[in-house]
Structure 1
Amino acid sequence: MTSLWLDTIRTIPTDEFEPEATYDDVIVGGGLTGLVTALLFARRGHTVAVVEARTVGSLATGSSSAVLSQLQGVQLQKIKRRTYQGIVDAYVQGNREAFDWVIAYADEAGVDLQRRDAYSYATSRSGLARVDAEYQVGRKAGLDLAKTFDVEVPFATLGAVRLRDQAQFDPLDLVAALVSDIRALGGLVIENAHVSGVDAGEPATTHTSLGDIRSERVHLTTGTPILDRGLYFAKLKPRRSFGVALRSVPGDDLPTAMYESADHPNRSFRRHRDLLLVGGNEHGVGRASSEAALADDLASWAEAHWPGAERSRVWSGQDYATPHGVPFVGYMPRGHGRIYIATGYDSWGMTGAVSAARMLVSDVLGDNSSWMKAIHHRATLPAAMAVGLGENAAVAWHFARGWTRALTNPLVEGETPPEGRGRVGREGFRPVARSTVAGETCALSAVCPHLGGIVAWNDQELSWDCPLHGSRFDATGRVIEGPAKRGMHGLTD
């Protein structure tokens, strides 16, 4: 289902594609990272074009929790465990500057933004230990955190850490303002331009479904890089989580702050107008036995703690985690200094995207600040290596499991799954993915065109999801997101 933000009708004018046009900077991806990057370059006098495969803000940005906070659950202790204090300090400074940038930009652009306190709370002893650790690491990095036992929520907690005066907003309001300002400075924002490749020549050539364009530089700001240079798809962990909007909660019972749990499974909640917004149940892409069951579990949790709450909308979104907890930002290997990437915000993209955009621009202009230099030159420690190796072992396991299940599960040729259902199995000697959506049954090769994993049916989003590196396809096989650049094959291809 569409997110709360994407369900609001907005008119966001975009531009016509100009084949063979030349720009200083082409930005691939029309989410928050790409749009802020384009605006910052345009303000410096660069000619820019943003190319988006779908519509601006339609994936990670439009499915996000839309929380702008420097207190990020238990993120800082994760970074500390896998790197060292200097990187925590740099990460915090980058997020502080990104937070201030968004606050100032929203004010000047007239974007409605509400200030709220942020809490990381615990409901178990292990969660309380994580809350205490986040307090220690965050205070050392300069955040004005406070420990408290006064957590006004409708269930028992053992304590929390609080950061005053953070923010929440509608991310598509911010997207609309960014697009308007980019166009006012002469930049172009082009939708429905699927990028299939980039040649790092002089100039660089970006190949899109609408034609080729050229530029001095190309910035890949999609969820995961569409190019396999540097093998970033193998260094990222793709994850999905859910959002639930609930109505009919009495105003006095709605939260007055923004809350993020330190326990598992993760639970976050806040108020948006007269709705209760709840998020959580994060999991690996394509690795859940039933996405719909996870969504129902989250909604049931909210209904149990806010009696009378009624489900208004349920959706899910995708993000990517790096082994060390810090985003990958900078030039791409074998890109001749002309191809840059930004990815891996680990669920904290509202500040992470803006921090990454500022780094991309500073990399080109050569005015990196000290925190940017620290992140660029971080060492990869054994703890981060172990996380990366563990994820790659999981990828290998899901590859073998998917093929084994497909080849040992024969399908009846011409079988029609029930409405909203998908099934993977063997027809002859080939794995087949068959689904029925809106009364139309579609049969496709079940092999992901990226690296040959076997896709799984997502019964919440009615999509085919690859458990290896997070590529997703609609029921007809068209690419939605991920490292895959082309859709799933039809059986006659």
Structure 2
Amino acid sequence: MTPLPGTDASYWMASTPDTDYPGAPEEVSADVAVIGGGMAGLCTAWELVRRGRSVVVLEAGRVAAGVTGHTTAKVSALHTLRYASLRDTQGRRAAAQYATSQQEAVRGIERLAVELGVDCQWERADAYTYATDPGRVGTLRAEATAAADAGLDATFVTETDLPFPVAGAVRVGGQAQFHPRRFLLALAAGIVARGGRVYERSRVTGLHDGSPCRVTTEDGAVVRARHVVVATHYPVFDRALMFARLETTRELVLAATLPAEQAPRGTYITPDEGTRSVRTAPWPDGRRLLIVTGEKFTPGTGDGNEGAPDAASERFRRLADWLRQHFPAAEITHRWAAQDNTSTDGLPYIGPFHPGTRNVYVATGFGGWGMSSGALAGTLLADLICGERPEHAALYDPRRLHPLREAGPLLSQQATVARHFVGDRLRLASADDVAAVAPGTGALVRVGAGRCAVYRAQDGTVHAVSARCTHLGCLVRFNDAEHTWECPCHGSRFAVDGSVLQGPAVRPLEPRQVPGAPGADASETDGADGPEEGGRF
């Protein structure tokens, strides 16, 4: 097969230095413990330290290296097609609150970048939601009207600076784009300069809600705090049952250099064609970096075999074909993927984690718009922790439940999980034995009554791990483009050695010995995907 285009790395990560904050010490105390060092977590920590609270940030990997380090980094209050639906389901007041809070978050990021004195390539850019299908024009006109009624500078247009015609678009002025990791590295340094503490490689595995709360890490560190904020993108604790109210999707990203005169000035997205998103960023030689996103899919649902239509590698190739067709002068440099969670009613969950807590808060469900929503979460959570309750707090409150509006998505999500949990166990394994797993590929291999997730490296080395996700036990599937194991139920992702790349799982897939692998012992292969404790708290 043709090699995938570009370097397998996020441009944001490749163009910034690594961080080296220490791990959490054995005992730590603070007013607030923030779990997660991405946009939402660091913005929350910043807002709290500037209000005089002592704060500890606990990051499982490196700050701004997870979801935020792989975003497309649009900073916008125009969230594809949000306002007409919100107005029709929750009323004009809710739509206005959403627009006002999101637009203030955009302005807040800009103010903070100036305050930090960071060159984060901040650029003002109009935001567009477009369609090429004339049948979508009515929907776009309705969205433009609803967004304008909500207070945004929104209009319906038929002309853009894209290099292809559109049937119509919603244009919202006063939006932006930036380099997210430059911004967040400066923000983390600012938090530490003001007395906050940032700890990396400190994966949280336990949370006791009390007075104080107690947070524990996989290395045995204990953090005691009056309040805890769970800002791990997908919550790593299940007591609020949010896994039943969140849908996880993954999108592929390609970056390519482009002559500056051919670069679109706005930021663009269409819900069509499995989503297509377009924006540009500065490039060192005066060209622009074109960033194209698309091919949305649920993690762990692809075939996993190169050449299959739904395999991640084939999705990358389709996206590359689209990019080259519409921007023929572009030269692809990088490829990566972004992951997002969407709530059952389409609005983020920002506020108290569940009805029974007074001390634990959460920020999740940003639906692909984590830059503005993450900044919004930082201010809103700091307000709530400090005893204030802004008018828009109820709109984002995780304890809300709209049975009529959410029944369909809730039932659909749980049916999908049940189908994978039961149905995947009835399917044949994707390889009969370890010998059938080709170098550079992975497959589920039947071992006795169970399955193992087996990856064979290019040098022939075999990595075998349990096929059961350590979150709630669904069987993982192989992503052939990123060489990862992914859970189709809630989006947990694991490296080929079983280590956790992305939650909600907090424990690795256990290593297994399989027949045909070096050092295998047949006595150790029984129950390959047998019972494991799920990651519930």
Task: Sort the TM-score into its range (normalised by shorter chain).
Answer: over 0.9
Q: Which runs of 5+ in 2 are unaligned?
A: 1-7, 283-287, 304-310, 514-523, 525-537
Q: Match for 2:490: what amino acid?
A: H
Question: Which SS does the other structure have where 1:62 is aligned?
Answer: helix
Matched with 1:480 is 501
Matched residue, 1:288? 302
Partner-residue secondary structure (3-state), 2:175: strand
Name the stretch that deviates more: 461-470 or 381-390. Answer: 381-390
Please say if 1:243 is aligned against 2:263.
Answer: no
For residues 11 and 451 of structure 1, the distance between their equivalents in structure 2, rounded to whole angstroms, comes to: 33
2:479 aligned with 1:470? no
Gaps of 5+ in 1: none
What residue is the counterpart of 1:276 in the other structure?
290
1: CA distance, partners of 2:403 / 2:145: 22
Report how far residue 414 of structure 1 moved: 3.8
Residue aligning to 1:230: 240
TM-score, normalised on structure 1? Answer: 0.95
SS class of match (2:454):
strand
Q: Does 1:382 align with 2:396?
A: no
TM-aligned CA distance change 1:456 to 1:214, over 3 Å: same
Correspondent of 1:58 among 65, 70, 75: 65
Taking structure 1 as reference, are residues 359 and 138 closer, same or farther at Cα in structure 2, changes over 3 Å only?
Answer: same
Q: Secondary structure at the match of 2:69?
A: coil
User: Quick check: 1:404 aligned with 2:426?
Assistant: yes
Write out aligned runs for 1:186-335 (5 A): 186-210=195-219, 211-247=221-257, 249-273=258-282, 274-289=288-303, 290-333=311-354
SS at match of 2:111: helix
Report the CA distance between 1:474 and its aligned residue: 0.5
> Structure 1 residue aligned with 2:415, among 393, 405, 420?
393
User: How far 1:156 moved relative to its partner?
Assistant: 2.2
Deviates more, 1:277-286 or 1:367-376: 367-376
TM-superposed deviation, 1:411: 4.4
In 2, distance between residues paired with 1:372 and 1:432? 45
Cα RMSD of the aligned pairs, angstroms, is 1.8
Quote the Cα distance in structure 2 between the aligned partners of 1:233 and 1:322: 10
The match for 2:157 among 145, 148, 163 is 148
Q: Deviations over 1:294-336 (max 9, x none)?
A: 1111111010111132221111011100011111122223764
Question: For 1:43-69, what per-residue CA distance to the aligned partner results, in whole angstroms no more than 9, with x for missing partners?
Answer: 111110100000001111011011001
* Cα distance in 2 for residues equivalent to 1:382 and 1:478: 40
Q: Please say if residues 449 and 487 of structure 1, whose CA atoms lie closer than 8 Å, have aligned partners that are also in contact.
A: yes
**1:12-51 to 2 correspondences below 5 Å:** 12=19, 14-51=21-58
Q: Is the 8 A contact 2:228 2:360 kept in 1?
A: yes
Alignment deviations for residues 468-488 of structure 1 (CA, whole Å, 9 cap, x no partner): 011111000111112112111
Letter of the 2:256 partner, please give it.
L
Q: Work out the CA distance in 1 between the residues paired with 2:207 and 2:281.
A: 41
In the TM superposition, residue 4 of structure 1 has moved relative to its aligned partner by 0.7
Separation in structure 2 between the aligned mates of residue 52 and residue 29 of structure 1, nearest angstrom? 5
The secondary structure found in structure 2 opposite 1:221 is strand
Query: Secondary structure at 1:431's aligned position in 2?
Result: strand
**C-alpha displacement at 1:263, in angstroms?**
2.4
Q: Deviations over 1:47-104 (max 9, x none)?
A: 1010000000111101101100111221333434554333222221210221111011
1:378 positional shift: 5.2
Show the counterpart of 1:360: 381
8 Å Cα contact 1:83-1:381 kept in structure 2 = no
1:446 corresponding residue in structure 2: 467
Provide the aligned length of Structure 1 versus Structure 2. Answer: 490
Return 66-75 or 409-418, whichever deviates more: 409-418
Q: Equivalent residue for 1:85?
A: 92
| TM-score, normalised with respect to structure 2 | 0.87
User: Structure 1 pair 134/378, CA: closer, same or farther in 2 (3 Å)?
Assistant: farther
Residue of structure 2 aligned with 1:459, choices 463, 467, 480 = 480
What one-letter code is carried by the residue in structure 1 that aligns with 2:158? F
**Partner of residue 174 from structure 1, selected from 183, 193, 197:** 183
For 1:416 and 1:192, how far apart are their aligned partners in 2?
36
Distance (Å, rounded) in 2 between the aligned partners of 1:64 and 1:52: 18
Residue 379 to residue 429, structure 1, CA distance change in 2 (3 Å): closer
* Deviations, residues 402-436 of structure 1 (Å, cap 9, x unaligned): 2122xx23744442622321111311111111112
Q: Secondary structure at the match of 2:469?
A: coil
Question: How many angstroms apart in 2 are the aligned matches of 1:86 and 1:451?
Answer: 39
The whole-number CA distance in structure 1 between the counterparts of 2:510 and 2:236 is: 19
Moved more, 60-69 or 481-490: 481-490
Quick one: structure 1 residues 410 and 151, their matched pair in 2 at CA, closer, same or farther if it must change by over 3 Å? closer
- 8 A contact 1:193–1:209 mirrored in 2: yes
Match of 2:139 in 1: 130
In the alignment, what sits opposite 2:5? none
- Mark the CA change 1:473 to 1:125 in structure 2 (over 3 Å): closer, same or farther: same
The reply on whether 1:97 has 2:84 as its aligned counterpart is no
Structure 1 counterpart of 2:64, one-letter code: G
CA contact (8 A) 1:126 1:263 kept: no
Residue-by-residue CA offset, 1:116-139 (whole Å, 9 max, x unaligned): 111111100333233112112211
CA–CA separation in structure 2 for the residues paired with 1:64 and 1:371: 26
Secondary structure of the 1:292 match is helix
Q: 1:79 to 1:97 in 2, by over 3 A?
A: same
Equivalent residues of 2:434, 2:445 under 8 A apart = no
Q: Which moved more, 1:224-233 or 1:70-79?
A: 70-79
Residue 466 of structure 2 contacts residue 510 of structure 2 at CA under 8 Å; is this kept in 1?
Answer: yes
3-state SS of the aligned residue for 1:147?
strand
Q: CA deviation at 1:161?
A: 1.5
Q: The residue matched to 1:256 in structure 2 has which SS?
A: coil
Distance 2:426 2:182 in 1: 46
SS in 2 for 1:94: helix
Distance 1:16 1:409 in 2: 40
Distance 1:90 1:423 in 2: 48
Secondary structure of the structure 2 residue equivalent to 1:419:
coil
Provide the C-alpha distance between the structure 2 equivalents of 1:284 and 1:50, rounded to a whole number of angstroms.
30
Deviation per CA, 1:335-361: give whole Å up to 9, x if none: 642211110000000001111121211
Does residue 1:417 correspond to 2:426, yes or no? no
- Which residue identity does 1:140 align to in structure 2? D
Task: Say which is worse superposed, 413-422 or 381-390, in terms of deviation.
Answer: 413-422
- Contact map agreement 2:467 2:509 (CA 8 A) in 1: yes
